[in-house]
A and B are shown apart, each in its own frame.
Chain A
Amino acid sequence: MSDTALREILDSHGSESGSLVPVLQEIQGKYGYLPAEAMIEVAKRLRVDEATVYSVATFYAQFKLVPTGKHQVKVCCGTACHVRGGSKILDAAERELGIGAGATTEDREYSLDRVACFGSCALAPVVVVDKDVYGRMTPSRVKSVLDDSVRGGQQE
């Protein structure tokens, strides 16, 4: 972790406590997770307790305290996806990647997560890989979608 990158993020926000969530979001965007040293630095800068930073970091589902994989695979487990067989898609993704939801593959290529809803419910079930949204999924399509991500996604 480079100190300058962190300093830049901190400098670009004010020191009021309302900046806490956006600062953490930016750090996570940069590093893929929230390194402990960064959280300590944030506490100092925003003049809040380390415990406060930690409580915010652990409250919101978005924040990760451990490094995640290169590709983020997210399977929707919202209601529309659930009634259209979303759990089978999750099973298939778990089988394909050999990890459970919430985990990262050993080679750090993929992280797998369940997400509440992407707002594409009309095309349920839905999977998102990095920034690409895939609708009308079937268990047997999961593999090709994962291969897609290695080739650089759906492309512009």
Chain B
Amino acid sequence: MTFAEIKQRSLSRWETKQRTDKVRIIVGAGTCGQAAGARAVLRAIQASLAKHNLDASITQVGCIGLCYAEPLMDVVKPGQPRLCYGNVTPENAAQIIEDYLLRDNPRPDLALGTLGEGNIPGIPSLKDHPVLGPQVRIALRNCGNLDPRDIDGYIANGAYSGLVRALSMKPEAVIAEIKESGLRGRGGAGFPTGLKWEACRNAPGQPKYLVCNADEGDPGAFMNRALLEGDPHAVLEGMLIGAHAVGAREGYIYVRAEYPLAIEHLNTALAQMHDYGLVGDNIVGSGLSFHLKIKEGAGAFVCGEETALLASIEGKPGIPRVRPPFPAQAGLWGKPTVINNVETWGHVSAIMQKGASWFGGYGARTSKGTKTFSLVGKVARTGLIEVPMGMTLRQIVYDIGGGTSSGKPLKAVQTGGPSGGCLPASLLDLSVDYDSLAQAGAIMGSGGMIVADEDTCMVDLARYFLTFTQSESCGKCVPCRLGTRQMLMILEDITAGRGTPESMELLAELAESVKAGSLCGLGQTTPNPVLTTLRYFRDEYEAHIREKRCPALVCKDLIQYYIQPEKCRACMICLRNCPVEAISGGKRQVHVIDQSRCTKCGTCMDVCPEKFSAVTKLSGQPIPAATPAERSVWQLG
């Protein structure tokens, strides 16, 4: 079959599905939807439909990015726009079905808004929604809209038209177009994609390989997972285009094992592509042959680094090697190899579908196009977003994210994960592009963006990152293996109140040496969270060291839990819930924590009824002298 015939068939199948007189119900069932309880919602929908004898189709889609409002459920009545409900519970899912389908009441009180064309009185359009409004969704164009298990929907909506266009061009022309688009790698380093492809195409040696880096090691980032789960075809089409441009006949997708749903959707997509002749030998009669295999990672952060990843595919421990030679010259089994990130491949297919100048029309001067971010941490509207590069941090965190979730002042934004940096609130007007972030000491990274508020301790955050990178260091080179260990020990000392005035200088000195001396990107970037916190949050280090005080009240060794006697209503709740029986008191008797037994688990603070809020944390100050009421408790106890 030619592609035109395939497209015709997909279009008619897709349109039949769209045009049915049946009600369609769409549930966001990506990993995050499931984590929020989407499966219980699905069961409730099925039960309610059965109970009222209603006929409706149920589609499960990937993540639309409004994760804070998960679980999401959309209802499309014939002739009506798609109506989206957020924070759905099993109970109100059943209620929505009854009210909207039986009584024609769309429940504006529960609705987030409508998607696409048309409107329903009293319900806003999601086009104007603060989260979706400012976004430009290129890589995520289909996520949350189409059923990832059904290739027809994608083909009907333009998938593989970029491939067909590429196949009508000479490989060199395809590379020139990618170069012209200004696309830079989305995996972290931001290397120009077209240049990488050209180097590989021109490198001697056959066969050539393509690799998709879906290891997504940054803990706190899920852009790649969402894209693979929601639109595997965007990535796979990009790889086919790359195969034609570079002259590769074989490729690998290296996915971390923690993403089972992404792997499942990739496998389904590949099987359907096989049936349609879109992968394998002589793709849609063009003469291009390309075979793809999926490799599962086995839990090692360093395997996201390209040379380690290639070693891992070869069946070895994922230990990086010195570059050059770069993979484009000598990669998998010593052959020229292009390795690109999931999102990079997703952009490639969009560029070939719509053209380089269209793509280059978005973004900043040296950072063209859009970038996806996972906006998480202490931010009100957590989720997955895609915005033109050059937007400011403030626009992202406040306009889209709605500010901090606690309503407390924002302290920092962390970008780039364990390799990135912590930017203070004073830099909120920084433009988010490769160069501005690097200048501020952070990096773009793959798109993790973690918001910290006043209750986040920056020294603890630096210690957290070092704990991670220290244990993930592969151990090959000394600066990384031993340097990260020593840095971690200093940070542990500081957070435990054992820091000395020299600790900060020593830490900074070590950080610079590890950065300069390490073999691969892991060691070279591991010091970034430490260096940026030292630079922007020095006062917090000093409070820990000089006053033995944790200003954010986080570091366990520097805080004490204390029940304020004037607020305690002696309700016995904390006393009964304390796992180590460290609280004494009784009915009508103020409760008191025995500091020598307290393990600082925080249970008392969690369970103390909000109307009392009697439990507080203290740091850098002694527990107030006992009041008479407290003393009487001691005497009894």
Contact = CB atoms under 8 A, between A and B. Distances in A.
Given A78-B219, A79-B417, A91-B601, A121 B374 contact: yes
B536 to A, nearest CB: 17
Contacts of B297: 62
Interface string A55-94: 1100111110000000000001111111110001001100
Given A56-B317, A83-B450, A119-B259, A136 B36 contact: yes
B70 to A, nearest CB: 7
A56 B222 contact: no
Contacts of B219: 76-80, 116-117
B468 A116 contact: yes
Contact of B35 (A80, A92, A134, A140): A134
Contacts of A76: 219
Contacts of B257: 25, 62
Q: Which 7 A-B pairs have the closest CB atoms?
A: A122-B67, A78-B219, A135-B35, A79-B220, A61-B299, A60-B298, A119-B222
Interface residues of B, number: 65
A107 interface: no
Interface of A: 16-22, 24-25, 46, 52, 55-56, 59-63, 76-84, 88, 91-92, 95, 115-124, 126, 131-136, 138-140, 154-156
A87 to B, nearest CB: 9
B551 to A, nearest CB: 15
Nearest to A133: B35
Interface string B281-304: 000000000000001111111000
Given A79-B414, A117-B258, 13 more contacts: A21-B295, A22-B296, A25-B257, A55-B317, A56-B316, A60-B298, A79-B464, A80-B377, A117-B219, A120-B32, A124-B377, A135-B32, A135-B36
Contacts, number: 165
Nearest to A140: B606
A131 B220 CA distance: 20
Contact of A119 (B225, B315, B318, B452): B225
B361 interface: no
A92 B297 CA distance: 29
26 contacts: A18-B315, A20-B316, A77-B219, A78-B219, A79-B418, A79-B448, A80-B376, A80-B377, A83-B377, A83-B450, A95-B601, A115-B258, A119-B221, A119-B258, A119-B259, A120-B31, A121-B376, A121-B382, A122-B67, A122-B70, A123-B70, A124-B376, A133-B34, A135-B36, A138-B606, A155-B39
Contacts of B543: none
Point out which of B43, B221, B383, B465 has the most chain A C-beta atoms below 10 A from its C-beta.
Answer: B221
B12 interface: no
Interface in B61-75: 67-68, 70
Given A60-B300, A139-B603, A21 B315 contact: yes
Contacts of A55: 317
A25 B257 CA distance: 10
Point out which of A16, A25, A116, A140 has the most chain B C-beta atoms below 10 A from its C-beta.
Answer: A116
Nearest to B260: A131
Contact of B67 (A60, A63, A82, A123): A123
Point out which of A19, A63, A95, A118 has the most chain B C-beta atoms below 10 A from its C-beta.
Answer: A118
A25 to B, nearest CB: 6
Contacts of B225: 119
Contacts of A82: 461, 464
Given A18-B315, A79-B448, A123 B300 contact: no
Contact of B295 (A22, A63, A80, A95): A22
B377 A84 contact: yes
Contacts of A62: 257, 297-299
Contacts of B602: 88, 139
A62 B374 CA distance: 25
A41 B178 CA distance: 48
A92 B577 CA distance: 12
A62 to B, nearest CB: 4
A132 B36 CA distance: 11
Contacts of A136: 35-36
B539 to A, nearest CB: 20
B607 interface: yes
Nearest to B475: A59
A98 to B, nearest CB: 11
B192 interface: no
Contacts of B315: 16-21, 46, 56
Point out which of A76, A120, A136 has the most chain B C-beta atoms below 10 A from its C-beta.
Answer: A120
A134 B258 CA distance: 14
Contacts of A119: 31-32, 216, 221-222, 225-226, 258-259
A65 to B, nearest CB: 14
Nearest to B40: A154
A140 B576 CA distance: 13
B579 A95 contact: yes
Nearest to A56: B317
Contacts of A60: 298-300, 317-318
Contacts of A19: 315
Contacts of B296: 21-22, 25
